[in-house]
Amino acid sequence: MTQSALAQLDDSLRATRQSFDSIPVVDVAPLLDGSDKMKVAKEIRWALANAGFMYVQNHGVAAEKLDNAFTQTKAFFDLPLEEKMKLHVSKSGTALRGYIEMFGENTDPTKTKDLKECFDLGPETPGDTTPFFGANQWPADLPEFRAAIYGYHEDMKQLSGSLLRGIALSLDLDERFFEPKMQNPISIQRLLHYPPQTGKIDESVMGIGAHTDYGNLTILAQDDVGGLQVMNRDGDWVQGPPIPGMFVINIGDLVQRLTNDVYLANLHRVVNTSGRERYSIPFFIDADYDADFAPLPSCVTPENPAKYEAVTCGKHKFGRFLESFPHLAAR
């Protein structure tokens, strides 16, 4: 590779190279099997109060299911553009299911164009006209795609429920605290492809611009390429490298609101300077469309007065999507 083809990062995109322990690792086996839930809850509290992110190991999702999901993800993005555009997200209305082309979504639209393509799906609810609900769109020429990716979505729903019980315990709440808010929750299974970037790179174009996630919880599976950067409380960007067998977990705006900033929905972004194609599979779990989120009384003190009014999950999330999707703004 010639020097001119190498990625040359603008100073604002440089991340501190730290060991992965800068994002805490939490072994969730004692939470899942019930042997020591409070030990895991204490580790979750430290991670979410200080980093907003954590790696989780021993999560119970079989490696072959994850490998199959990545195989189908790559197969989808290898399809010709005209085939993918037949499933464009705009054809699903406010269900927001389907393909999103390069620059079709921009998470930091005032500053950055996102160099990525996506495919989104969610719970199969044909006929439901509530935003984020409806029928999925499926590629006709990938016979194994639907079962693999929708099955993975269902596995992530189950894991997210367990992790939210751990988060509830970490806040000294009943472990079932989130369940009344999640009788029919919004969930999005996203597939992502980032082409490599070369030459001079600055904040105007990169994989994903700096953003927080919108809802409760994100479960991210990364391939071995890397590129995730997370901002710490000091305002420094640190790398979140892939670790075999582990998911990256982070909380979204609703949990930060719920905890009155005790827990941090951290800014993060992706810059792919590897020279290779990067794939990742994030799963987003939120809550019922009309579920209310306001600061917990236990997180409001004279030193930390309430910072937020109550908001419903759906109104908050759809408002964030309006900022990111040009086709929604046009509607």
DSSP states along 250-301: EE-HHHHHHTTTSS----EEE---SSS-EEEEEEEE---TT-EE---GGG--
Q: Is residue 244 part of a domain?
A: yes
- CA 245 to CA 40: how far, in whole Å? 18
Longest dimension (CA), the chain: 59
CATH of the domain at 92: 2.60.120.330
Tokens 């979505």 sit on residue: 153
More confident residue, 151 or 273: 151
**What pLDDT does 235 receive?**
79
Least Cα distance to 193 among 125, 99, 264 occurs for: 99
CB neighbours of residue 244 within 10 Å: 8
Beta carbons within 8 Å of 27's beta carbon, 6+ residues apart: 40, 43, 56, 57, 58
- CA 28 to CA 249: how far, in whole Å? 12
List, as one string, the DSSP characters of 222-237: E-SS--EEEE-TTS-E
Work out the pLDDT band at 2, boundaries 50, 70, 90.
very low
17-25 mean pLDDT: 61
Q: Is residue 9 part of a domain?
A: no
- Is the CB of residue 167 less than 8 Å from the CB of residue 255? yes
More confident residue, 6 or 267: 267
**What pLDDT does 243 receive?**
95
**What pLDDT does 18 receive?**
41
Least Cα distance to 307 among 315, 319, 299 occurs for: 299
- Per the prediction, the chain carries an average pLDDT of 91
Q: Is the pLDDT of residue 17 over 50?
A: no
Q: Is residue 305 part of a domain?
A: yes
**What pLDDT does 68 receive?**
98
Q: Is residue 98 part of a domain?
A: yes
Q: Is residue 211 part of a domain?
A: yes
- Is the CB of residue 36 less than 8 Å from the CB of residue 30? yes
Domain span including residue 193: 23-328
**What pLDDT does 198 receive?**
81
107-118 mean pLDDT: 88
Q: Is residue 17 part of a domain?
A: no
194-216 mean pLDDT: 87
Q: Is residue 6 part of a domain?
A: no
First CA to last CA distance, the chain: 45
Q: Is residue 151 part of a domain?
A: yes
Stated pTM of the model: 0.92
What's the total number of domains in the chain?
1
315-to-111, 131, 132, 184, 289 alpha-carbon distances in Å: 24, 9, 11, 15, 7
**What pLDDT does 53 receive?**
94
Give the chain's length.
331
Distance of CA 81 to the CA centre of its chain: 24
DSSP label of 311: E
3-state secondary structure of 57: strand
